[in-house]
Structure 1
């Protein structure tokens, strides 16, 4: 990617890294599925009346919304409600990098370079090191839900890449159409009507600030930029940048929530950063062979694209 788009990708990773702390802070009194429905209602309204529909089929728009938004965030919020800490949630969710590259290779025939594979392998090793260092303190259900969220995100990435919508913001807004309704119904079924009504009636200012950040910055700004990058660049060039998000999440959880990382988490975070640097390393330019006709042109007269030999 060029410098401008690389800086945009780094900005998205920073916004998303801080997002995990904001979610954890705002979700204390709101059921997780209802919280996602409220978030994407804020993404949808009033932007859907201001942003033109993306140049993609309804099927692609719905698929992006179903996997990148509904599936990913419903599963992520459930994982955090089940006991997944914000910093670790950000790390486990980065399994989407591996899932995306594998799916893009199989579906889109976007084969990663050996250097990119090596970078992703280093990043994955960092994730494993951090997971081992946690000592099994995270409930298995929370871990499984977070991994499923990563898989859902990866499928959404591939669909968004296949659609190649020029404006990432329009795809982010219009794909949100499929999110609030199903999640509201699921929340009523799982949590009960009384809990949903009580949560809406007692919606705190912390939940409101969290919704504004997650909807405005993480979704509209973050996914607007991210989907635009996927439309311009191969998935293997874009998604490794997201490996920076866990580093921001861990630092935020440490400074704001007192969740100090241990030695394994710090070492794993370092491996993640190294993996990003390796995966995003530009390949060396290939030397072009010498022109075999160069010597003949010196002896003759060049006329446009052909050589006229002297008589």
Structure 2
């Protein structure tokens, strides 16, 4: 069985931290922009490196459009809309992680990847943790339409993961930049139809620092860095090895508001986070991997200044 290198485990954890904080940043950005316009601006900036990076030649435009439509347009338009329809950042971070189980299922169907006993046990344990977090976090900040939109976003992300895994040996930073070229025009058109030109113009002419920060974070860290690293990992390892790391996103997604907004954890959130972490350990699948993971965290803690 292919085992992950320590540096790749650390990179996977770093990406999940970026994506966990991402939910709080989206909430900040929605205070300045309507959701589809915010998403369009994100990909306008994320596409800028395509001016300097060559387009991957081994991936056809139809495949690139399919990946961008699911991994970017589908996932994030549905996610941003779910949050604009009342779903809290913490709950969105939790519910979206249904993609981890869906990615393993779709990869098994597409590539014949085996779903082992530890995958089933780990998924069930993590699902219990996600359910506990979902019932403990957010309080009244939950709507049925927001929940449905977020589940649809998870399905779109999982399909995008599988399409990305079949993308061959393309340079992932270049691929992410060129994939980001595709969403802006469709998203701007959707924004004009659904949000209205007046709302778009008002947002663009009343930009504040928090809005600028949100767009830069979403474009540079979450999209270019996050998906560049994630795409490299999911291409080098089976989906059953990489997708479970995304279960750390709700843990970071609940931690970020505590740091940024001064929110407190309750007992249910803490217990749920522990269950998610336990499920991740089972999904990773070996004592050696657990030892590497603990060594990575220990080394990071030792280097962190007090």
Rounded Cα–Cα distance in structure 2 between residues aligned with 1:216 and 1:253: 21
Other-structure match for 1:132:
135
Query: Displacement of 1:282 after TM fit?
Result: 2.8
1:82 equivalent to 2:77? Answer no
Rounded Cα–Cα distance in structure 2 between residues aligned with 1:170 and 1:230: 16
Residue pair 2:88, 2:141 contacting (<8 A) in 1 also: no
Rounded Cα–Cα distance in structure 2 between residues aligned with 1:57 and 1:106: 23
Rounded Cα–Cα distance in structure 1 between residues aligned with 2:133 and 2:251: 12
Query: Displacement of 1:136 after TM fit?
Result: 6.2
Other-structure match for 2:301:
none
Counterpart of 2:271 (choices 267, 273, 281) is 267
Counterpart of 1:236 (choices 234, 240, 247) is 240
1:211-250 matches, cutoff 5 A: 211-250=215-254
Other-structure match for 1:307:
none
Count, aligned residues: 283
Gaps (5+ residues) in structure 2? 289-306
Other-structure match for 2:203:
199
1:285-304 matches, cutoff 5 A: none
Rounded Cα–Cα distance in structure 2 between residues aligned with 1:200 and 1:137: 28
Rounded Cα–Cα distance in structure 2 between residues aligned with 1:275 and 1:164: 30
Query: Displacement of 1:137 after TM fit?
Result: 4.6
| RMSD value, Cα | 1.5
Rounded Cα–Cα distance in structure 2 between residues aligned with 1:238 and 1:80: 26
Rounded Cα–Cα distance in structure 2 between residues aligned with 1:132 and 1:205: 34
Secondary structure (helix, strand or coil) at the match of 2:19 reads helix
Other-structure match for 2:51:
49
Residue pair 2:99, 2:158 contacting (<8 A) in 1 also: yes
Q: Render the CA deviation track for 1:32-90: whole Å, top value 9, x for unaligned.
A: 00000000000002x11111212312122111111001111111111111111112211
Other-structure match for 2:176:
172
Larger radius of gyration: 1
Other-structure match for 1:209:
213
1:17-56 matches, cutoff 5 A: 17-45=20-48, 47-54=49-56, 55-56=58-59
Residue pair 1:129, 1:265 contacting (<8 A) in 2 also: yes
1:6 equivalent to 2:12? Answer no
Secondary structure (helix, strand or coil) at the match of 1:241 reads helix
Query: Displacement of 1:214 after TM fit?
Result: 0.9
Q: Quick check: 272-281 or 256-265, which moved more?
A: 256-265
TM-score (norm 2): 0.88
1:150 equivalent to 2:158? Answer no
Other-structure match for 2:304:
none
Residue pair 1:166, 1:228 contacting (<8 A) in 2 also: no
Residue pair 1:241, 1:276 contacting (<8 A) in 2 also: yes
Gaps (5+ residues) in structure 1? 285-311
Q: Render the CA deviation track for 1:244-298: whole Å, top value 9, x for unaligned.
A: 11111101112222443332222111111111111112389xxxxxxxxxxxxxx
Rounded Cα–Cα distance in structure 2 between residues aligned with 1:172 and 1:219: 8
Q: Quick check: 160-169 or 270-279, which moved more?
A: 160-169
Q: Render the CA deviation track for 1:136-172: whole Å, top value 9, x for unaligned.
A: 6511111111111111000000000112334221221
Other-structure match for 1:105:
108
